[in-house]
Structure 1
Amino acid sequence: MLYGIIVAIPAIIIAGPLFSRTIKNVVATPLPEFYNPVILKDEEMPKMGVSVFTALLPVILIGLSTVFDYILPSGFPLRNLILFMGNPVMAMLISVLVAIYTLGLSRGKKMAEVMTSVATSVSSITMVLLIIAGAGGLKQILVDSGVSEYLGDLLRDSSISPLVLGWLIATILRVCIGSATVAGLTAAGIVLPLVSGTGVKPELMVLAIGSGSLMLSHVNDGGFWLFKEYFNLSVKETLRTWTVMETMVGIIGITGVLILNLFI
């Protein structure tokens, strides 16, 4: 955790001036669908506990489903119901229905007003969702085509330091696939023999792969498009801010790993 904080500080320092110089007034005006320009009074706001519970309900349902899937016997009467409610799609649907009541109807709003708000929200973010889905589809095409396995075979027998190699594999996978999660997990499987065969610290390898999986986020990354659309940026502006920030985190991360490797 401490190492993560140290790595994140340069990203914060770099991101602030970079935002202010490159996109200036754009950051101050994100898409109106993502914020409420009207400042509400305290009595108009829902309770803190209600807000937190409503926002975390999908996580709660999915988490409980995962836990109960392991601890409940197969013949338990409510097991299937709990697993059904913990399905990600059902968890989101239940959470939306709960939010309609806790954040709408219970606050004195009419159903017609709540439904109008929901319809406006969905129509406003449709393009954002389509763009993110398109980036995810491109990522899946690259994954299913075997790009990760091909790159792994090319780099597996390299004489580079195992830590640098793990970082490099994760970086290349990240650039080609877009998903940091897929890049990290795939790189971990590729370099696993190196960890056991070279004596490198597994903790440092995890940090190296994690740093590489953040490198060079671009147009095949769903997070790239989410950031672009949220701040209403152009592709060029997003490359100059988001991509640069992610890359700096990755470079500073591997630098810190190599320094730690000298003392551990």
Structure 2
Amino acid sequence: MPLVVVGISVLVLLFLMTKLRLNGFASLLLVAVGVALVRGIPVADIPDVLSKGIGGQIGDTMLTIGLGAMVGRVMGDSGAAQRIAAKLLAVCGPRWVQVAMVLTATLIGVTMFYEVAFVIIVPIAFTLVRVTRSKLLWVGLPMSIALSTMHSFLPPHPGPTAVAATFHASVGLTLFYGLFIAVPAGAFIALVWPRLPFVRAMNPSVPTGLVSDRTFEEEEMPSAAWSLSVALLPVVLIAGAAVTDMVTSADTPVMHFINFVGSAPIALLLTLLVAIWAFGPRIGRSLEEVSASCRGAAQAMAMILLVIGAGGAFKQVLVNGGISDYIKQATSGWSVSPIILAWLIAVILRVALGSATVAVVTASGVALPLVAGSGIHAEVMVLAVSCGSIAFSHVNDPGFWMFKEYFNLSVIDAIKVRTTYTTVLAILGLGGVLAMERVLDVLNL
């Protein structure tokens, strides 16, 4: 049974990494090869499948994560990240630092991919940890939870947007309805999870090389205006392109240019160029010093990128091994509420494959025939599939490894934290979707 293979592969991976202490990159590749052999993928094709998985994952994330890490390190080494952290503390106070992180992550995460927003905000979180002497998870976890919620629940993120197209749902209405579910659910979990005893017992340190350890004096830091402007530049570029794309379908050179500068890699590249000047020669730092910051960020990112790429290889083996097709066939005859069925299929696919995007696209194909005859609002069905895709993030999810590496957690601790919060978010999302459908029916909308 394909799902048994998935379960055994996860157990083997945990054994390799926790008991044998084998490197995550090597462990993921070994398990991926084993699953490929068991699932009958021809031996001659396995290297290509692994390369496709690694290439697809790294191609999507390397530019984003690499450029984002460089921007963060340049800001950290110049004192700009500390300036932003100080401004947040001045506005909210140390007591409300978690609320500040949730608000920041929610506003930025509405339009930005999880990975992009994560690498932009995490240097500020690291700096706040050092300045307030708080635990890393106390400050960083609310940020990650809020970003996960926005990315998984709402368009214009890729999963929800793809499902909206499949169901012929309004992207604008999906976003509007989804905000009523995503914002309260994300904020609730973001503020509750760091307070749970098993999370408070963890005390990981900030990974070395990703942020400056230096504490700057007031006169050494760039102004708040410059610091915030550079930090928000990619947000403005990416969000501006997303909003423009939502309100117009014009195919003009201007739109092509907006989409170009609003793509995550280009937006971050432009931000890096601005950061190099603004926090380099403009304030008396040499280009050599700024280049050293970029090199330090790249070196610190090397293993993180390798592990994320190997996670993509594992995911690709599961897809090529027919796991998604098996689940699609097995669930096609179930007789349950279309909302619950769509959510449950997305959950099962997410557990088996790891990729939220693959899960939502496949689940939407299974649930599509249910939309027309059910009388359920298409936008609600989009949200049902989307929130199901966040559940049970674990070792076959490349985002899991990014979370683990940035927060310097063991595999077991990362499962305890990330797998649990993503699952509870999915369940809260389902409850919100069912309630939303009921409200729309009562209001006759």
In 2, are the aligned partners of 1:178 and 1:217 still within 8 Å (CA)? yes
Distance (whole Å) between structure 1 residues aligned to residue 363 and residue 208 of structure 2: 39
Match of 2:346 in 1: 170
Match of 2:193 in 1: 15
Aligned-pair CA distance for 1:25: 5.2
Letter in 2 for 1:113: E
Q: What are the equivalent positions in structure 2 for 1:37-52 lying under 5 Å apart?
A: 37-52=213-228
In 1, are the aligned partners of 2:392 and 2:423 still within 8 Å (CA)? yes
Match of 1:154 in 2: 330
Q: What are the equivalent positions in structure 2 for 1:197-208 lying under 5 Å apart?
A: 197-208=373-384
Aligned-pair CA distance for 1:259: 4.3
Length, aligned pairs only: 259
Match of 2:425 in 1: 249
In 1, are the aligned partners of 2:185 and 2:429 still within 8 Å (CA)? yes
Match of 2:310 in 1: 134
In 1, are the aligned partners of 2:210 and 2:300 still within 8 Å (CA)? no
In 1, are the aligned partners of 2:340 and 2:384 still within 8 Å (CA)? yes
Letter in 2 for 1:161: S
Distance (whole Å) between structure 1 residues aligned to residue 293 and residue 328 of structure 2: 48
TM-score (norm 2): 0.51
> Given the alignment of the two structures, is residue 231 of structure 1 paired with residue 407 of structure 2, yes or no?
yes
> Given the alignment of the two structures, is residue 5 of structure 1 paired with residue 203 of structure 2, yes or no?
no
Tell me the SS of whatever aligns to 2:290: helix
Distance (whole Å) between structure 1 residues aligned to residue 372 and residue 405 of structure 2: 43
Distance (whole Å) between structure 2 residues aligned to residue 190 and residue 53 of structure 1: 45
Match of 1:26 in 2: 203
Tell me the SS of whatever aligns to 1:209: helix
Aligned-pair CA distance for 1:245: 0.9
Letter in 1 for 2:370: L
Distance (whole Å) between structure 1 residues aligned to residue 409 and residue 262 of structure 2: 36
Distance (whole Å) between structure 2 residues aligned to residue 59 and residue 53 of structure 1: 10
* Residue segments in structure 2 that go unaligned for 5+ positions in a row: 1-178
Distance (whole Å) between structure 1 residues aligned to residue 239 and residue 379 of structure 2: 26
Instruction: Report which stretch shifted further, 116-125 or 3-12.
Output: 3-12
Distance (whole Å) between structure 2 residues aligned to residue 134 and residue 65 of structure 1: 31
In 1, are the aligned partners of 2:350 and 2:391 still within 8 Å (CA)? yes
Residues 10 and 251 of structure 1, relative CA distance in 2, 3 Å threshold: same
In 1, are the aligned partners of 2:226 and 2:278 still within 8 Å (CA)? yes
Letter in 2 for 1:193: P
* Residue segments in structure 1 that go unaligned for 5+ positions in a row: none
Aligned-pair CA distance for 1:256: 3.4
In 1, are the aligned partners of 2:181 and 2:433 still within 8 Å (CA)? no
Distance (whole Å) between structure 1 residues aligned to residue 416 and residue 291 of structure 2: 39
Aligned-pair CA distance for 1:145: 5.0
Distance (whole Å) between structure 1 residues aligned to residue 403 and residue 239 of structure 2: 27
Residues 82 and 44 of structure 1, relative CA distance in 2, 3 Å threshold: same
In 1, are the aligned partners of 2:311 and 2:398 still within 8 Å (CA)? yes
Distance (whole Å) between structure 2 residues aligned to residue 49 and residue 146 of structure 1: 52
Aligned-pair CA distance for 1:88: 4.8
Aligned-pair CA distance for 1:217: 0.3
Aligned-pair CA distance for 1:222: 2.0
In 2, are the aligned partners of 1:23 and 1:237 still within 8 Å (CA)? no
Distance (whole Å) between structure 2 residues aligned to residue 86 and residue 44 of structure 1: 32
In 2, are the aligned partners of 1:26 and 1:232 still within 8 Å (CA)? no
Residues 250 and 81 of structure 1, relative CA distance in 2, 3 Å threshold: closer
Distance (whole Å) between structure 2 residues aligned to residue 38 and residue 147 of structure 1: 49
Residues 198 and 212 of structure 1, relative CA distance in 2, 3 Å threshold: same
Deviation per CA, 1:91-120, whole angstroms, max 9, x where unpaired?
A: 443332222112222221112211112111
Instruction: Report which stretch shifted further, 34-43 or 170-179.
Output: 34-43
Tell me the SS of whatever aligns to 2:209: helix
TM-score (norm 1): 0.81
Backbone CA RMSD of aligned residues:
3.1
Distance (whole Å) between structure 1 residues aligned to residue 294 and residue 181 of structure 2: 41
Letter in 1 for 2:193: A
Match of 1:189 in 2: 365
Tell me the SS of whatever aligns to 1:238: helix
